[in-house]
Structure 1
Amino acid sequence: MALTLSVGLQKKVGLPDYGSLCASCHVEFEIDRSLIDNDLEGFHEKAAGAFAACRQAVNDQLVQQSAYSSSPPSNGKPNRTYHHNGHARHSGGEVPKQNAGTATQSQIRAIFAIARRQRVNPSSLVREKFGVDRPEDLSIREASTLIDELKRGLVESRD
């Protein structure tokens, strides 16, 4: 009689500016019941092999995503990176808005409020720093970076 062995592994790594990358692997396969009854070491080898395969797949995926998100900028424009939803934007092309991981409404409000207190034009600022026309066009990570810089007083008005 066959049994189903199910093995899964998930790993999440932190990135700067409150970001993260996550990858998971899940495999299921049938094994002979006699392994548990007569060959426990053989069963452990099968399970360990499945975990090792998942661990390698997860690590490979994280390395691939990490390499992509840290690749150098092209065209002199800022490099876009993976966002919380796993989608990517990069300076070589646009991703449809619904997949772009655009800034949240709370981030937009914070940008406008802090910029107003510091007498900085937020539209000019995002155009200069990120090459987008409006704060609403920023990615979540870009908005987070801008909020941090505004809070620390690291931006100056050029208007």
Structure 2
Amino acid sequence: MALTLSVGLQKKVGLPDYGSLCASCHVEFEIDRSLIDNDLEGFHEKAAGAFAACRQAVNDQLGQQSAYSSSPPSNGKPNRTYHHNGHARHSGNGQSTARDVGTATQSQIRAIFAISKRQRVDLASLVREKFSVDRPEDLSTREASTLIDELKRGLVESRA
């Protein structure tokens, strides 16, 4: 007998001038009942895979929306994001680029520090090499999410 597994994720991020972006992903699919009865780990893997797919879809959508909704703020100044050190972020060609959807959340920062400590990763070097920022707090929400996923999967090689 088949069961229906329903998984969903919704995320809302704030923007300057009291704006916000929201994206959600909900999937439903059938799984074999025997997973619950005989293979609980297999069931958890299916659910975790669905959540990971939703998380990636939501983060991708928010990234696309932020690129299209970068209208100038009401004060007439350019809509540009700066590092905590006051310098605009630059791409490899020397031109400034806006960051993805806001800065990393406190939860993301805590997770990054905890996972990197557990795996003995040189976090300062890693964020400098991979994202060209001085510290994890300077990452965007999307960059932080990507880093957390890579740390969890053990894809990071910058060891302390």
TM-score, scaled to structure 1: 0.44
Structure label with greater radius of gyration: 1
